Amino acid sequence: MHPSPLFKETDEAVLAARVHAAPFALICASADGRPVAAHAPVLLEGRRLRFHLSRANPVAKALTDHTPVLAVVTGPHAYISPDWYGQEDQVGTWNYLSVELEGPVRILFPDETAALLDDLSDRFEGDLLPKPPWKRAKMSEGRFETLLKMIVGYEVILERFEGITELGQNKPPEARAAVASALEDLGDRDISGLMRAL
């Protein structure tokens, strides 16, 4: 987490919107004194985060009930050239949005993991409309149950839910406008639009 309070984001509605917009997280844990990480699609409902991992994943082996876990979601981001500020003695930086979600993990029971998979399917198949949604009923008998044994489902009740909104708030408005224009010239609409909305 960026140490500057100027960039710290604590509005849970803003943070939740970011997770819903980019629901693919880096899941971080510790195993045998070293950090381990995996990527996973996530579902956030209030302060409840759910995801699953392959049983063979080192992170899955590190996560037991009550183990602390950190999930990181990264939103739009862009390199900012010091030349764009129109000010002397600047350095390059990175503007970005991020969310950190942290808490103790609970391993889901098989029926809860099956429900998680159904919920994930509903969530992401919904983005593909008008394509008819895929449902597990399309699978051969017994195949879903076989695959279910190969994964572990998790639930985290969040104890820490915060993020970063670094969009040049530490620069004067004219410098932010100049950076937004430079980004737009390069085809960036995400970070430039967010900077203009400040």
pLDDT of residue 60: 97
165's tokens: 């909104």
Give the model confidence (pLDDT) of 59-116 as tens digits: 999 999 999 999 999 999 999 999 999 999 999 999 999 999 999 999 999 999 999 9
In sequence order, the β-bridge partners of residue 24 are 41
Distant-in-sequence contacts of 26-29, Cβ < 8 A, 24+ apart: 26/71, 26/72, 26/73, 26/74, 27/51, 27/53, 27/59, 27/69, 27/70, 27/71, 28/59, 28/69, 28/70, 28/71, 28/72, 29/59, 29/62, 29/63, 29/67, 29/68, 29/69, 29/70
Answer yes or no: are the C-beta atoms of 120 and 73 closer than 8 Å.
no
Compute φ and ψ for 17, nearest 5 degrees: -60, -40
Name the residue with tokens 């889901």: 108
pLDDT tens sequence across 135-160: 999 999 999 999 999 999 999 999 99
Q: pTM score, two decimals? A: 0.93
H helices of the chain, in order, are 12-21, 58-62, 110-125, 143-148, 173-185, 190-197
Residue holding tokens 């970063």?
Answer: 164
Domains along the sequence of the chain with CATH: 8-188 (2.30.110.10)
Mean pLDDT, rounded, of the chain = 96
